[in-house]
Amino acid sequence: MIKLTYVKKAIITAACITLCIVLPMAFHSIPNAGSIYCPMHIPVLLCGLICGWPFGLLCGLAGPFLSSVFTGMPPVAILPIMMIELATYGIVTGMMMKVVHTQKVYGDLYIGLVIALMTGRIVAGLMRALIFASGEYSIAIWVTTYFITAWPALIIQLAFIPMIVFALEKAQLIPMRYPQSYNERV
Amino acid sequence: MNTFIGSYIEKKSLVHKLDAFIKLICVFILITAIIMCQSIYSYIVCILFLTIIIHISHIGFFNAMSGVKHMWLFFVMIFLMNCFFFESSYSLWNWGIFHLSYEGMIQGLNVVLRVVFSMIVGNLFVSTTSPLDIVGAIESFIFALRYIGVPIQDVAIILGVSIQFIPMFIEETDMIKKAQIARGARFESKKLLDKAKGIIPLVIPVFLSAFKKADELSIAMEARGYHRTRKKERFHHRHIQMIDISILIIVIVFCIIEMII
Amino acid sequence: MSVKVKNLSFQYDKGIKVLKDVSFEIKKGEFVGIMGHTGCGKSTLIQLISGLLTPTSGNIYIDDEDINHKKYDRALLRQKVGIVFQYPEYQLFETTVEKDVAFALKNNKFSQKEIKERVRWALEMMGFSYEDIRKKSPLSLSGGEKRRVAIAGVIVSQPHILIFDEPIAGLDPYGRLEFLKLVKALHQQGTTIIMVSHNIDILCEYTQKMLVFHQGQLITNESTKDIFNNLDFLSKYQMETSQIRHISQKLYERGFIVSPYITNYQEFINEVKDVLNRGQL
C-alpha cells in the first residue's frame, strides 16, 4: 500500500513544477498546441488534486514563474495573471478533494475540476479586467473571451486529468482514493 | 527542445550589479507604476525613465524589446477589441454590436502600452540577472513569507529539486516523444479532436515517468532521514549596498510621480 | 532490406559534431552490434536511421531509397524500421495491454481482424499468453513484463529492421536470457537486427558484424570475431574483449587449447570438446 508522506508530496510537487516548464517545451514543436491546450494547467491541477491545497498553491505560483524565468514563456507581462489563475486552480482542487466524497473517483474528480476551472477563470478574468481595462463593458468581454478562446483547453483538462490519475493509480505511484472499489472497476 | 529563450546577457553595468532581490522589488514597483499610467504626461515620464534604464543597462534597445514583436497580433486584437466594444456615450461609427469610439481607442492604446512597458521591464530584469541570481532573489523574497507561517525551507527544497529535475525531464520527454513517433504516433493532425487524442501517448507516459522519478527520489530522501523541517532557516546573505537602496528609492519616487500625474 | 549510410554527419544547433562522415552498409538479415564509449554518437546514429533526426549532411538509404528525401513516405519508414529505446516501458499508456500493443497499427488502417492477429503474434512472440494478458493494464505489470509488452508494441508492425538501444539494461539474468532468445527468434525470421550495447559478451555471442564508434567516427566495421580478436586495436581505444577470449588466451598460454582466437561461448565449447575428444586434457 502506497502512502503519500509529506516528503513524497513535496517531491511530487517539485516534479509537477518541473512539468510546468517541460510540457510547454514539448508542446512547442506541435503547431499551436501551447496556446490551445494550456499544457501548464495540467500539472498544477494534478498537484492540487493529489497533494492538497498548500502544495497546489505552491505549484501554481512556482510553475509559471520558473517557466517564465527559464524559457521566457509565459512573457513577464501576463505572468502575474497566470500565476493568480493557476494558484487558484491549485488551491481549489486541493480543497475540493478534501470536501467532496461521492464514493466515486470520477465524481470527485469532475466536481473538483469543474469548480476549480470555473473559479480560476473567473478570478483571472476579473483580475485581468481590473488591471488592464477598467471600462464596465470590458469586464464582460474579458470574461467571455476567457471561456471562448480556452474551451479546447477546458475539454482537454476535463478529459485528460482523470485519465492521468487512473494511470498513476494503476502504476501504484499514488494511493487509490477508494481502494475498496478497485476490484469493481477492474 | 533545446531552445532556452531565457535571455541573460552578460555585461558590466549598474543594472547588472544591482542586487537581484532589490531588482526584483523594483520590477514589481515599476509594473505597478506602469499600471497606474493614465495621462499622456505619465506615459512620457514612463518612456523617459525606461529609456534611461535601457541606456545604462547596456543591453541594447532590441534586446529590451525582444518578444514584443512576436506579440503584435495579440496587441492588434486587444486594441481592436477595446476600440470596438468600449461602451461610450458617443461613438464615431456603429455597426451591429460594434461601436467605434475615441474612448475605446484610448483605452486600447492604454492597454497595449501597459503590456509593452511591462514586457520591457521584464526583459530588463531577465537579461541583466543570471537565472541563478533570479532564483536566489526569489528565495529571499519567499523568505519574507516565513513570518506568515510558510515552511520556507521546504519550499526551497521543492524549488531546488524541481530545477534539478529539468534536464532529466527534458531528456525523458524527448525520448518518449521519439519512441511514440517511431511507433507511428502523429501529433500534427489538423482536426482539433484528433490532435487532442494524438497527445495522449505523449502526456500520460510523461506524467508516469515524472511521478516515478519523484517516487524514487522521495524514497531515497526518506531513507536518508529527510522529514518535515521545523528548524530555523539560514538566511540567504545578501550584500545590499548604498547604491541598491538609492536605486530603490529612485524607483519608488518614480512610482509616486506616476500616480500623481 | 538493406541500410546504406553515406558520408553521414550530424551536428546539434550548438555546434558540437556528434557524427563525422560515417559510411557503412548493413545487408538484409544481418545481426549487427554497435559499440563505443558513452557520447560517441551511437544513439544519434540509430535515431538518424529511424528518421527521428535529420542529418546535417550525408544520406541514409533504406532499400535504396533516401529516407530524408522530400517525397519519401514517413509512414512507410515507421513500418519498415522499428526502434526499441532504452527503458521502453515508459512508452506504455493505454488502459489495456491489447490496446497498447495495437497502437502502432491503429495509425495505419489495418482491418480489425488483422490487428487482432498481429497483436496476438507479437504478444506470443514476447512469451505471453494472449488470452491471459490482453485485458490487463500494462501499467500494473511487473518491470520485466512491462518491457516485453513495450517491445511487443514495436514488433507488432513487423518491421524489417529492428533497432535496440541498450535493451538489456535493468533486466535480471533470467530476463536477459529470455529476451535474447526472443531477439534470436526474430532474427531467424529474417529481421535485420541492430543492437547497441555495452555488454561485450552478449555482442560476441549474438552479432555477426560490429560497428565501433569513437568520438563520432566509425573506427571499424568488420566481423565481430575479427574485432574482438584484435586486442591491440581494442586497447588503443580503451575497449575490452570478451570474457571467453580472455579465458581462451590463458588456456592457450598454458597449452590446453590450440588457438586463443575464440570469442564466443559456442566456439569455446566446441574447442573444449575437441580437446577432450583428442584426449589432451
Instruction: Look at A106-110, B155-159, B209-213, B222-226 and tell me which has the smallest mean pLDDT.
Output: B222-226
Where is C226: in which H helix or E strand?
helix C224-229
How close A122 gets to chain B, by Cα (Å)? Answer: 19
Per-residue pLDDT averaged across C93-102, rounded? 90
Question: Taking 60 as the threshold, does the pLDDT of residue B153 lie above it?
Answer: yes
Pairing state between β C57-62 and C65-66: antiparallel
Mean pLDDT of C91-115: 86
In three-state form (DSSP H/G/I as H, E/B as E, the rest C), the secondary structure along B132-186 is: HHHHHHHHHHHHHHHHHCCCHHHHHHHHHHHHHHHHHHHHHHHHHHHHHHHCCCC
pLDDT of residue C192: 92
| pLDDT at residue C253 in the model | 86
Burial group, residue A148, by CB count within 10 angstroms (0-12, 13-18, 19+)? exposed
What's the pLDDT band for B239 if we cut at 50, 70, 90? confident
Strand partners, B99: B94
Among A123-137, B119-133, C49-63, the minimum mean pLDDT is found in A123-137
Complex ipTM, two decimals? 0.88
Report the relative pairing of strands C31-36 and C17-26 from DSSP bridges.
unpaired
Looking at the complex, report in whole angstroms how far the Cα of residue C141 sits from the nearest Cα belonging to chain A: 8
Confidence at residue A14, expressed as pLDDT on a 0 to 100 scale: 94
pLDDT tier, A55 (very low <50, low <70, confident <90, very high otherwise):
very high
pLDDT at residue C161 is higher than 70: yes
> What is the pLDDT at residue A19?
94
Strand order of the sheet with strand C65-66? C17-26, C3-11, C57-62, C65-66
Question: B139, B2, B126: which is closest to B66 by C-alpha?
Answer: B126
Average pLDDT value for residue range B192-220: 87
pLDDT at residue number A75: 73
Chain position carrying cell 514612463: B46
Helix axes B20-36, B40-57, angle to 10 degrees: 160
Q: Is the pLDDT of residue B231 over 70?
A: no
What does the DSSP 8-state code read for residue A179? G
**Using a CB-CB distance cutoff of 8 angstroms, which residues of chain C are in contact with residue A170?**
137, 139-140
**Contacts with B216 from chain C: Cβ below 8 Å:** none
What confidence tier does A186 reach under pLDDT thresholds 50, 70, 90?
very low
Q: Which residue has the higher pLDDT, B44 or B146?
A: B44
B95 forms beta bridges with B98
Res B236 pLDDT > 70: no
Measured at the alpha carbon of residue A111, what is the angle toward residues A109 and A112, in degrees to the nearest 5? 65
C-alpha to C-alpha distance for B240 and B16, rounded to whole angstroms: 14
Contact partners, residue B82, CB within 8 Å, separation at least 6: A133, A135, A138, B104, B105, B107, B108, B111
**B46 phi/psi in degrees, rounded to 5:** -60, -50
Q: What is the pLDDT of residues B63-110, one digit of tens each?
A: 888 777 777 787 888 788 777 776 666 667 777 667 777 777 887 888
Q: Is C4 left (phi over 0), alpha (psi -120 to 50) or beta?
A: beta
Report the pLDDT value the prediction gives residue A146, as an integer from 0 to 100: 67
DSSP state of A180: G
Count of other CB atoms within 10 angstroms of residue B89: 6
H helices of chain B, in order, are: 14-17, 20-36, 40-57, 61-64, 72-85, 102-128, 131-143, 152-182, 192-198, 200-223, 242-260
Q: What is the mean pLDDT of residues B16-26?
A: 88
Q: Is C230 exposed, middle or buried (0-12, 13-18, 19+ CB in 10 A)?
A: middle
The residue-averaged pLDDT of A163-182 equals 82
Task: Decide if A14 touches B, using CB distance below 8 A.
Answer: yes
Subunits adjacent to chain A (3 or more Cβ pairs under 8 Å): B, C
- Residue in A with minimal Cα distance to C90: A171
What pLDDT is stored for residue B228 in this prediction? 63
Total residues found in chain A within this entry:
186
* Res. C184: pLDDT tops 60: yes
B-C C-beta contacts closer than 8 Å:
59
**What is the tens place of the pLDDT at every residue in C235-258?**
888 888 888 888 888 888 887 777
Neighbours of chain B (3+ CB pairs under 8 A): A, C
CB contact under 8 A, A30 and B187: yes
Q: Looking at chain C from residue 62 to 81, which residues have their Cβ under 8 Å from any Cβ of chain A? A: none
Nearest chain C residue to A167 by CA distance is C139
Higher pLDDT, A130 or B233: A130
Cβ–Cβ contacts within 10 Å for residue C254, how many?
8
> Residue A138's pLDDT band (boundaries 50, 70, 90)?
low
- A76-80 CB contacts, 8 Å cutoff, 24+ apart: A76/B118, A76/B119, A76/B121, A76/B122, A76/B123, A76/B125, A76/B126, A77/B115, A77/B116, A77/B118, A77/B119, A77/B122, A78/B115, A79/B122, A80/B31
Cα nearest neighbour of C95 on chain A = A167
At C3, is the secondary structure helix, strand, or coil? strand
For B205, which of C92, C108, C154 is closest by C-beta distance? Answer: C92
pLDDT digits (tens, 9 = 90+) for A58-99: 999 999 999 888 877 777 667 878 888 899 999 999 999 988
pLDDT of residue A86: 92
Q: Cell numbers at residue C224, please?
A: 565481430
Pick left, alpha or beta for residue B78 (phi over 0 → left; psi -120 to 50 → alpha; otherwise beta): alpha
* pLDDT tens-digit series, residues B41-63: 888 888 998 999 988 888 888 88
Interface of A with B in 37-96 (CB under 8 A): 37, 42-43, 46, 58, 62, 65-66, 69-73, 75-80
d(CA C125, CA C155): 9
Report how far residue A70's alpha carbon sits from residue A146's, in angstroms, rounded to the nearest whole number: 26
- Within 8 A of C140 by CB-CB distance, chain A residues are 170-172
Confidence of residue B157 (pLDDT cuts 50, 70, 90): confident
d(CA C163, CA A107): 44
Does the pLDDT of residue B3 top 90, yes or no? no
Give the closest of B181, B182, B209 to C90, CB-based: B209
Residue A4: exposed, middle, or buried by beta-carbon count in 10 A (0-12, 13-18, 19+)? middle
More confident residue, B156 or B195: B156
